[in-house]
């Protein structure tokens, strides 16, 4: 009977010491893993602040002047390039889709005017496209065919609103989240 109790006490002692060793190994490996992750992150991640003695890169003059690629005075529509003064960028359109409502869409458009750009017309088109995009479901714009239908619908909205003053609608960005 006494031999049985001694054997039982030895097995309990071995179990406790094995558990302590396992916990110590897991703790050491966790610290090593955290340190290695921190080290690799410091080596790979770009510095968020400029190094001492250097200034942050300056904003381009066009961005600082009007907040857009080009353009100047308030109320004026920004032109995309000086070589094509009739090509005008609209502000980005960001809204949620009709279904599923947790998906968002972002579109950046540019309009090619036949004559002088009209800021009021561009803003009306921006609002019309925004209202249309709020009615679109994810299934309607999936795949290349869905994107083509979306392009056709936006072009039709622009044609109806502009009455021929805009010759082309260019999609600069199209993202669905």
pLDDT for res 22: 92
CATH of the domain at 84: 3.30.479
All residues at 6 or more sequence positions from 71 whose CB lies less than 8 Å from its CB, including other chains: 62, 65, 77, 78, 79
Question: pTM for the whole thing?
Answer: 0.56
User: Where among 15, 36, 57 does a domain terminate?
Assistant: 57
Burial of residue 40, with CB atoms counted within 10 A of its CB: 0-12 exposed, 13-18 middle, 19 or more buried: exposed
pLDDT for res 49: 56
pLDDT for res 91: 92
pLDDT for res 8: 57
Give the count of alpha carbons within 13 A of 18, CB side only: 6
**Do the Cβ atoms of 130 and 95 come closer than 8 Å?**
yes
Distance CA(26)–CA(23), nearest Å, equals 5
Q: What is the extent of the structural domain holding 6?
A: 1-57
User: Where among 57, 80, 95 does a domain terminate?
Assistant: 57
Q: What is the mean pLDDT of residues 30-58?
A: 72
Confidence of residue 57 (pLDDT cuts 50, 70, 90): low
pLDDT for res 1: 53
The answer, yes or no, to whether residue 51 has pLDDT greater than 80, is no
What percent of the chain lies above the pLDDT cut of 90? 50
CB atoms within 10 A of CB 134: 14
Q: How far apart are the first and last CA of the chain?
A: 72
The answer, yes or no, to whether residue 116 has pLDDT greater than 60, is yes
φ and ψ of 113, to 5 deg: -80, 150
Q: What is the mean pLDDT of residues 82-91?
A: 84
Domain identity same for 31 and 113: no
Domain identity same for 79 and 94: yes
Q: Which of 23-27, 72-76, 129-133 has the lowest mean pLDDT?
A: 72-76
- Which has the higher per-residue pLDDT, 110 or 43? 110
- Which has the higher per-residue pLDDT, 5 or 155? 155
**Do the Cβ atoms of 152 and 141 come closer than 8 Å?**
no
Domain identity same for 18 and 73: no
């Amino acid at each position: 009977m006494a031999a049985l109790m001694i054997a039982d006490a030895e097995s309990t002692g071995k179990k406790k010491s094995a558990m302590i060793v396992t916990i110590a190994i897991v703790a050491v490996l966790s610290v090593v893993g955290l340190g290695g992750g921190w080290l690799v992150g410091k080596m790979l991640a770009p510095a968020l602040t400029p190094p001492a003695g250097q200034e942050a890169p300056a904003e381009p003059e066009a961005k600082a002047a009007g907040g857009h690629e080009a353009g100047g005075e308030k109320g004026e529509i920004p032109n995309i390039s000086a070589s094509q003064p009739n090509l005008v960028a609209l502000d980005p359109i960001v809204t949620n889709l009709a279904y599923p409502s947790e998906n968002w869409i972002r579109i950046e458009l540019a309009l090619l005017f036949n004559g002088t750009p009209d800021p009021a017309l561009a803003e009306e088109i921006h609002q019309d496209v925004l209202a249309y995009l709020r009615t679109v479901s994810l299934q309607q714009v999936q795949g290349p065919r869905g994107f083509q239908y979306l392009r056709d619908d936006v072009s039709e909205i622009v044609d109806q609103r502009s009455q021929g003053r805009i010759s082309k609608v260019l999609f600069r960005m199209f993202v669905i989240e």
